[in-house]
Amino acid sequence: MRLRLVLNLVHRKFNQDMRKALDNAKLKNAAMIAVMGATGSGKSTFINMASGTAEMVTSGGLESCTQTIQMSSLFQLGGQNVVLVDTPGFDDTNKSDADTLAVIGGHLAEAYKNGITLAGVLYLHRITDVRVTGVTARNLRVFNEIVGGKAMKNVFIVTTMWENLGSSGSNEEIERIGSQREKELESRKGFMGDAISKGAKIVRHRYNTKQSAQKVVLDLLAISDPTVLQLQKELVDDGKTLNQTGAGGELNKEMDKKLKEYQQEIEAIKADMRAREAAGNKQMDDLRREIEEANRARARIEQEKQRMQADYSEIKRRGQTGK
């Protein structure tokens, strides 16, 4: 009885290992492309268009939709097997940035460890975004650090949502506004300009169609010269913890800034309390509540910073146990 149980377990483990090895072998022979970009930039929609499926869940509302890494099925394009990897953005309404980086880093590191190299990266950006918000800028700063200078030549910045440009819907108007925006994106220092100066190219996903999406993928495959991303090297080769990586460093800077802001806020509330006291007003409940709230927010950030001290094996463990 016991023996049968053990044999069953061995058999199951063998099957799992075999399946994994087969999957890895298939992936090794395929061109794997990571698709990144802010929430709502059209990543999942793009992947569905390119692969001719509806397997990625897309969003209709403002809430971010894709929470974890999701791989498309293998599909044929230009005589090659292609797989597109959907990733969550760093502006998620449900997940902390530290956890998002852990999810992306974990997947990229695992692929690299298994000998699967990326053929390239697509970074999606809505051409309709006029102003660069803090969230967009942060997404890009982290993205720059995930990829690193060396691999940037394998990056396409893909502009999406062209049909929504202008008010008339005429091709002339769309072309005029769109090419103006492209110039702005290219010239902006510290924004896409940095990625472009290191070899990334801006390309158009001009129509929200299969043909347009597949052309973007084919053009990337034509110039792709697979290299390792900075984050993969940092986690796997250098054994760094997340906060020691360039991408983690960007998030850390952001968190330290927030911590400082909360600290200043608390000091200001305390000053208000002293002023009230001096005026003989003993009613402090509202201010105490404000301090408690700021302290809670600070504790959340500290906790997030703690989670960034994970290295690759810890991220992997979290991925397996969900904790």
Ligand X SMILES: Nc1nc2c(ncn2[C@@H]2O[C@H](COP(=O)(O)OP(=O)(O)OP(=O)(O)O)[C@@H](O)[C@H]2O)c(=O)[nH]1
In the list 163, 261, 267, 302, the residue contacting ligand X (rule: CB under 6 A) is 163
Please choose which of ligand X, Mg ion, none residue 42 contacts, taking the beta carbon within 5 to 8 angstroms, the exact cut-off set by kind.
ligand X
Closest approach, Cβ 37 to ligand X, in A, equals: 6
Select 39 or 214, whichever has its Cβ closest to Mg ion: 39
**If binding is defined by CB under 5 A, does position 229 make contact with Mg ion?**
no
Closest approach, Cβ 210 to ligand X, in A, equals: 12
The answer to whether 246 and 145 have CB atoms below 8 angstroms apart is yes
Helix-helix angle 134-151:246-278, to 10 degrees: 150
DSSP states of 207-243 as a string? SSSHHHHHHHHHHHHHH------HHHIIIIIS---GG
Closest approach, Cβ 47 to Mg ion, in A, equals: 8
DSSP 74: P
**If binding is defined by CB under 6 A, does position 24 make contact with ligand X?**
no
In the list 72, 89, 151, 232, the residue contacting ligand X (rule: CB under 6 A) is 89
**Residue 35 β-bridge partners:** 86, 122
Select 14 or 207, whichever has its Cβ closest to ligand X: 207
Query: Rounded distance, CA 231 to CA 245, Å?
Result: 7
In the list 41, 44, 70, 252, the residue contacting Mg ion (rule: CB under 5 A) is 44
**If binding is defined by CB under 6 A, does position 242 make contact with ligand X?**
no
| Window of 19-27, 40-48, 247-255, 274-282 that interacts with ligand X by CB under 6 A | 40-48
3-state secondary structure (DSSP) of residue 94: coil
Instruction: Take residue 213 and report the two structure tokens written for it.
Output: 């999406």
- Nearest by Cα to 152 from 234, 231, 85: 231
CA atoms within 13 A on the CB side of 134: 2
**If binding is defined by CB under 6 A, does position 44 make contact with ligand X?**
yes
In the list 27, 32, 34, 43, the residue contacting ligand X (rule: CB under 6 A) is 43
**If binding is defined by CB under 6 A, does position 64 make contact with ligand X?**
yes
Query: Rounded distance, CA 63 to CA 89, Å?
Result: 12
Q: Furthest-apart CA pair in the chain: how many Å?
A: 82
In the list 23, 30, 55, 58, the residue contacting ligand X (rule: CB under 6 A) is 58
- Nearest by Cα to 121 from 86, 95, 73, 88: 86
Encoded one letter per residue, x for contact with Mg ion by CB under 5 A and - for no contact, window 1-30 reads ------------------------------
Closest approach, Cβ 45 to Mg ion, in A, equals: 8
Sign of the CA dihedral running 203, 208, 212, 218: positive
**If binding is defined by CB under 5 A, does position 252 make contact with Mg ion?**
no
Please choose which of ligand X, Mg ion, none residue 163 contacts, taking the beta carbon within 5 to 8 angstroms, the exact cut-off set by kind.
ligand X
In the list 80, 114, 208, 241, the residue contacting ligand X (rule: CB under 6 A) is 208
Encoded one letter per residue, x for contact with Mg ion by CB under 5 A and - for no contact, window 55-84 reads ----------xx------------------
Task: Spell out the long-range contacts of 208-212 with Cβ–Cβ below 8 A and sequence spacing 24 or more.
Answer: 208/42, 208/45, 208/49, 208/160, 208/161, 208/163, 209/49, 210/49, 210/50, 210/52, 212/49
Residue 302: burial class (beta carbons within 10 Å; 0-12, 13-18, 19+):
exposed
**If binding is defined by CB under 6 A, does position 164 make contact with ligand X?**
yes
What residues line the site for Mg ion (CB under 5 A)?
43-44, 65-66
Site of interaction with ligand X (CB under 6 A): 37, 39-45, 58-60, 64-66, 88-89, 160-161, 163-164, 205, 208
